[in-house]
Structure 1
Amino acid sequence: MNDPDESRSGDVRAAAREKARQLRASQNRRDRRNKALLSGGIVIGVIAVLAIVAVVIMGAIRPTVPGPKNMASDGVVVGSGLKVKTTPALAADAKPIASKPDPNGSSVDIRIYADYLCKLCGDFQRTNLKQLQPLVKDGAVTVEMHPVAIYTSHSAGTRYSLRAANAAACVANYSPRSFWAFNQSLFENQPADGGPGLTDAQLKKLAAAAGASPSDIDSCVDDGRFKTWVGSASDRALSGPIPNSRVNKMTNALLVLVNGKQYTGSLTNADDFKAFILQAQGDEYSSTSTPTPSPSAGS
């Protein structure tokens, strides 16, 4: 006859063993699940890091696009009658073709590299463009404008310098006769450094007011057609050399050259710059035997 107490004891031990088995199985399942989640998390993390790296690399590698027409030198050459010198669009990755000063010295060669958000650039242009305009019209002066985007990170994330320079390239490409007026209006309506800058809609409105064709300009501004080119042209100006100049490269957001010599005078005194123009042309006279017309001090 079996002892009831021994039977009960055996049942308890069996139940305990089963309970232990269930606990081990449950723990094993949790371990496998946690391992899978950890592995999946690592994989997801690696994928996320790789995605970020890919974005950075793609952002650093600019896609090659053709440059704008009438800017083969990376600048817009404005001469007699405020007419823009026409040049074809350069193929992607083509080197710019430096414009050549008048070999006869009949006009003063002025080259302006400027960022549309740079306050010093604005001071210089607002002070001097009005007095330069009649001299350019008469053929006494040739002005080559080089829009650059150096202050792109100074506009609360809107990349205004880049957008404005792209808009200028759009006008040079599609409505070159409007370039002088559009360039001037960008400085007359210059936003503050550190703010969001003008919107694309405002840039398009200024272009239309300058006489540019909205049907061409609007889409060019909207899709940032020449942003990549602007970045490349800005890099070239910053790395140098600066053609037809004694200056090696740009060191800030404004560079003004008169017959190859850098202007370092007042940016808010028109008389100072006019005197520099006359001096530069006087230096040109000293190297030639035939005098040429000059912009008069009273112009």
Structure 2
Amino acid sequence: MLVCAIHCRCNLFGRIDQREIMAGSTSGGNPQSRPTKNQRREAAREKARQFREQQERQRKRKRLLIQIGVIVAVVAVVLGGWLIIQSVQKHEQAAASVMPANMPNDGVVISEGLAVQKAEPRAADVQPERQTSPDGRLVVEIYADFMCPICGQFEQTYGQMLSEQAQAGNIDLVIHPVSILDQASQGTKYSTRSAAAAASVATYAPDSFLNYFTTLLQPGVQANESTSGLSDDRLVELARQVIGDDHPEQQDQVEKSIRDGEFKKWVKRSTDAANLTGTPTVYIDGQSLDDLSKVSDTLQQKLKDRGIDMTQTGAGASEGQ
């Protein structure tokens, strides 16, 4: 009995010790395998550092993307502005290069029978010259601004006489519409608009040019200084009247040209090229005539030198009879 009790006790103790050992091994019983408090603190700090670095990288990436976006936007704006400027400049250059037809040296040449000498538009880079006659006729050139009151007086005094001499084939009458009084039309730039309208008629309805020119200088029609001048509608209306309803295509072409301001740039260029000090400016046989009261006498003498008696033509012939 005593032996059995001792044996059982030993077995009991053995099992107890074995269970304790097994329990210790399954629960990770080695205390050194667990992270210490300092290790856990360092691990947390490392994780926080990595998180901060990740956040900083994301902020830098976001900032870089914003900067790239701003740069792209600025480049787009600059490029867009440059393209717009280039487009405007090309448009202005194209407009400046538009030249009227039938005005070889920026003037309409009216010859025998009041026929307009037809001519293709001059190249924009070719400077105008003093007009000469291919037939050796005496050349009379007139530079006129449609708002100039003295131009109106000149037309009333000498217009018919000059037209008669041209019709008879004694002279080539060259008319240059110019613009020197834009500042006198309340901001509407009437001198330029009317000169451009005359160029439109010269280009698309040349046989009606002289009539249009004289109409715009007629009393009651001619615009007065310090007014807005005639409207584009009125310029178109007068052009349609002188062209006549028998030529609807010419009427439409002239109207479109006037409303588009097709020859406004040309007016400025031609006026600048003329280098005028005032209007009307008159050249007879290539020489400027300072005293306009001597137009008839000078013309008569010049024609006489060529063996032509201007008094036998038109009004002069009537006066001599």
TM-score (norm 2): 0.62
Q: List runs of 5+ in structure 1 lacking aligned partners.
A: 240-248, 266-272
Q: Distance in 1 between matches of 2:307 and 2:257?
A: 50
Q: Does 1:89 align with 2:114?
A: no
Partner residue of 1:222? Answer: 256
Instruction: State the number of aligned residues.
Output: 270
Partner residue of 1:245? Answer: none
Give the conservation status (yes or no) of the 8 Å contact 1:200–1:221. Answer: no
Partner residue of 1:202? Answer: 234
Displacement of 1:18? 4.8
The 1:161–1:6 alpha-carbon spacing in structure 2 relative to 1, beyond 3 Å, is: farther
Q: Distance in 1 between matches of 2:99 and 2:62?
A: 59
Q: Secondary structure, in 3 states, of the residue corresponding to 2:194?
A: helix
Partner residue of 1:123? Answer: 149
Q: List runs of 5+ in structure 2 lacking aligned partners.
A: 1-30
Q: Distance in 2 between matches of 1:224 and 1:104?
A: 33
Aligned counterparts, 1:171-186, within 5 A: 171-186=201-216
Displacement of 1:178? 2.6
Displacement of 1:51? 1.5
Q: Deviations over 1:102-133 (max 9, x none)?
A: 8576xxx53122344xx4xx212211212223
Displacement of 1:237? 5.9
Q: Secondary structure, in 3 states, of the residue corresponding to 1:44?
A: helix
Q: Distance in 1 between matches of 2:224 and 2:46?
A: 84
Displacement of 1:264? 4.0
The partner residue of 2:109 within 72, 77, 82 is 77
Higher helix share: 2
The partner residue of 1:254 within 272, 279, 291 is 279
**Identical aligned residues as a percent:** 21
Partner residue of 2:20? Answer: none
The 1:177–1:220 alpha-carbon spacing in structure 2 relative to 1, beyond 3 Å, is: closer
Displacement of 1:20? 1.4
The 1:58–1:147 alpha-carbon spacing in structure 2 relative to 1, beyond 3 Å, is: same
The partner residue of 2:162 within 136, 142, 164 is 136
The partner residue of 2:309 within 280, 292, 297 is 292
Partner residue of 2:223? Answer: 190
Partner residue of 1:244? Answer: none
Give the conservation status (yes or no) of the 8 Å contact 1:66–1:93. Answer: yes
Q: Distance in 2 between matches of 1:115 and 1:134?
A: 18
Q: Deviations over 1:195-234 (max 9, x none)?
A: 5x65443321110232444432333442469977774576
**How large is the Cα RMSD of the aligned pairs?**
4.4
Q: Distance in 2 between matches of 1:3 and 1:172?
A: 103
The 1:255–1:101 alpha-carbon spacing in structure 2 relative to 1, beyond 3 Å, is: farther
Q: Distance in 2 between matches of 1:21 and 1:49?
A: 41
